[in-house]
Structure 1
Amino acid sequence: MSKTILVTGGTGFIAGWCIVDLLRRGHAVRTTIRNPAREALVRAAIGAQIDPGDRLSFAIADLTGDAGWAAAMMGCDGVLHIASPLGREAPRDRDALVAPARDGTLRILRAAVAAGIDRVVMTSAAATARPPRGSGLVSSETVWADAEDPRLDPYRRSKILAERAAWDFMASAAGQTALTTILPGAVFGPLLGNGEAASVWVIQALLDGKPPRLLDLALSVVDVRDLAALHVDALFAPDAAGQRFLAMGETLWMKDIAGILRAGLGARAAKVPTQVLPNALVRVIALFLPRLRMFLGDLGQRRPVSNDKARQMLGFAPRPARETILDCAESLLASRAAQTS
């Protein structure tokens, strides 16, 4: 039976693919945007994948304020809460992103409970389930990362505290609303239309050869299309209520990702680096390139992770990382060509 689902942050990378997935399954979608001028861009992006007809509507609301959220929830059966500050530039203040992420999440949950929404599926991050360094533990849904770890970057800290706050709130909230959280790794895949590349800047940077050498870094890749499907599956699966789900596929070193790009794109990947930067030099460069700071604690580490729960309960079956990476790169190249033509 068709449902009406609210998706927060409709201009975002993950949110856009969630909207597409919901529409393909026959549901109606209402999505939030902060600026009404962005509606046409979102419609065009979604329309590149599926004609939404009259099943896509918009609400104006911002995570930093209460205005608009009650109206956005009205008549909806479920919520995919995806909007969150990215923190790509890694501010030096470790608390800079906490308030927007945590307070925005609580604002959504309060509105959902008040509206009698059946379930909220919230996008968290795999970093919230990361065990202590050197513990030998596998990342799984039973693990909670330490938000007070001094080596933690502001973005990951904000995700931990936001998810913690969400579960604490739901434990004390009265009503029928249930919470489920999805914890993705590094999200790559094709852009929607000529969308923004903010969420896939790592691949764009490799294509541009910046920096000219690779980081000694391992990333657990998840395709945005698989991630969107997992969100929707978690919204409707009865047993998913009250659960956390790690959403990660293959773990690859940056040199492996670079090799995939070079082998799959040929001359179009000529700028992709092949040599690895010494970790000590990365720490110096990060002083001048803020976006590198969030990776400093991960250099040289490949942590074991388990996505068994998502596979067993929700049928999560991530596609090969090679496909994800090349589809991401192809869309970035196509977007740049469209912008310069």
Structure 2
Amino acid sequence: MRKYFMINCKKKDKDKVGKFLLSQRQDGALKCVDFGDQETQIFKADVDINTFDITILMTLIQHCCSSKGDSIWKKPPDDKDKSLLANLRRIQLYKETTLDCSPSNRVTNVEFDKQWYELTTTFTCIGVSAEDIEKYHKLRVERSVRGFEEESVEEIRNFQVLQAVVIDVGTVAMREYFLEVANRRKTKQSQVAKLEKKDVGQYLINMKSNFKVKLNLEQKKKMFTPNADIDTFDITIMYLIIRNCCSIPDSFWEDPQKLSNVVEIHRYRNTLAHYPNCRVSNKDFEIQWTKVRSMLHNAGAPFQDIDKYRALKFIN
């Protein structure tokens, strides 16, 4: 994606990217584009394009160097479209709709093989060598992998451990917090019936007008149906439900740390989702692990449920 952007914007020197983006922001293709809290990261003269994640890069490609019109950005590329841009878009959609929206950190062997085949096809089409692809496949089973320095393998596993514990333990903590708050409100309103997981779909349908944020089609399909399964809701969906359906409860003032840590789970997961690569040094891992461990425990997760994920670092 970086290479595509540089070539199509006719930029040979990465040091000039910052000035180019500033000019496009001032009175060019990026003038009206909303980058949210990533704005300050992007628009500075000495910006390092190597720190840009997939979302930033594809937004820049869409507005600065896309000749495909709006169609490729509004819906998935047609299967017959084998162009470089179409395959870059497929990678972006896979990251945003599959990886970022996973309700757990689990992939079965059958599903892994299916998704790996699809990704391999896409990466091959954009010119990635079979050898470069295969070395990532070997990370599943080998401690040392040809093509990676030992330190790099360790850093990748550090990232995976942080991601695993935040997605698995964090998502459960957010579900339990939502059900706790919803049922406390029912008690105060003298409603006898307890909100069970099986009733969450109807609950959300009744609360639909509370959602003032824009939801994508997949989120709506998951949430607003009578047989919705809360166990399939990812961190983003749980954050939206808590924010729009749970007015700040009295318990917040008794234990303000719990809600703030539930919110922090969402923020931290977004930080992981926007990493420009999947590496965390050993030093940074220890700092991040301490932070994540405290955050998840303060959100309601037992230490034993958290600490078992650290052992993933040492599995051969």
Structure-2-length-normalised TM-score: 0.32
Structure-1-length-normalised TM-score: 0.30
Query: Would you tell me which structure has more helix in proportion to its own residues?
Result: 2
Which of 1 and 2 has greater Rg? 2
